[in-house]
Structure 1
Amino acid sequence: MGRPAIPAEAFDHGDPRRYRRGCRCTTCKAGVTATVRRQRYLRATGRGATVSPQRAARHIELLRSLGMSDKEIQAESGVCQNVFYRIIGQRSEIRRDSETRILAVKPRQIDAPRSGIHLAGRGTILRLRALAADGWPAVHLGERCGKHKQFIVHLQNSDPDTTVVRRWVADYVAALSQQLAGQRPEDHGVPTHIAERIRKTAADKGWAGTAYWDPDDYDNPDFTPAVEDTTPRRQVIAENAHWLMRTNNLDRFATAQRLGVHKSYVDHALREHPEYGLEVAA
């Protein structure tokens, strides 16, 4: 099913697009006549009605880098969505007037929440990795962010020190991390075998779960989670359970939720490592 047709009323009188959609008023007739004459003039002087999309694409990238969203650029330029993304893809030549409309949008800095400005991607990548270490599959994270799972996987495997992301992506992921931190995916419809598989894959890559991070640590390049590959997992769980119960006055059930494991796993870990056996609440 295709997109609904844009009505003539969406364009001003005198715009050729309104004429092509059926408006035959004097102003629209004059507008389309002027357009035809201009096209004839351009062809006669060796300049066609179409141009390479490169200049327009570069201008769009500049506008995006300053924080303007695609919808804002489309609204200010009057270029429809199909043409807009055809310019970005640079798949074919575009009409000269489309290029003119894009270039007429004045660059300006927009540093507002949910904007398209570029930010360092470290915090976003490490938050997504931590959620994977808790057992959250990329498909579930993508659905909650409104993105495809491959976008999430791509970010998780990107270099935290060189990757940049849009501010709105960083905002969505930060909110998602805060919402899901310490929760078990199995309690939200994720099958146990899938969550365990995701945890194992993340552990093999050395990714630390959300229990090892404070919200501000993700963006701190000098912070490294205290997870040693040579330390048995149950010892790590026991140590972190001890810390959570001591500093946050949590019982074992709440501690297990924060660590992304079952309460029985915390029980076993503390029995195996009695040095971390501080009891706040059973």
Structure 2
Amino acid sequence: MKKWKFLRENGRSSLVPADRVIRHIWRLRYAGVTDIEIREQARLSPPHLYQIIRTKAPVRHFTAARILAIPVPEHTAEPNRNGTHVPALGSIRRLQTLSAEGWPAKELDKLLDTGTGYVSYLLREVGGDTVRLFTAAAIRNLYADLDGQTPEENGVPAGVAKLARARAAKKQWPRAAYWDADDFDNPDFEPATHGTPRYIELAENGLELEQRQGYTREQAADRLGVTKDNLQQAITRYRRIHLGAAA
């Protein structure tokens, strides 16, 4: 309340853009947190939560703070069996990216334990714009497990992986270097495939804030508009790849 009063007295808006709040709500949902749990922890009425998602209008500082303070559950091996429908965009993008890294659809079907042809069905984008929450969670978990691994080192024949990459390149599906964890589910984000990969830009900016300006990792992440986990993943990938290149 003091901050809200200060903003009013200094002629500054008490509203903040909803983008980051909406992304956090979707992250909570994908992690298995129900809308009822989100509303209870953020002290929101049912209409208010859905209004934030639907209208994308700016929200109050204190409302945004309460939503962003809800922790995202840790990654678990078993996806939540919640049958709620969620946007399919993030799931499709993750599968496209895995394809671009050389993972064939049939192998992804096996790893997801879905029916034969299901991944290809999603990749064709002909099945509507939603998937079940447990399906989205399974795809999210699979992407996290395969990130940084090469198909050839995990039993996929080199020729099959090469063909998967070629097909993905023909369709202009971006590779993993151009994404971070939150971008997949953000409909307003389009990877700049002709520029510097997203993880490099994020890692270098984060490390500069930490090393030259004394920011903590959490402060650097907040300054860059991403979560601490996302910044950590970008820095880890950056160091792994560059250390490998130097070796």
TM-score with structure 1 length normalisation? 0.44
TM-score (norm 2): 0.50
Which structure would you say has the larger RCO, counting Cα contacts within 8 Å and 6 or more residues apart?
2
- Which of structures 1 and 2 has the bigger CA Rg? 1
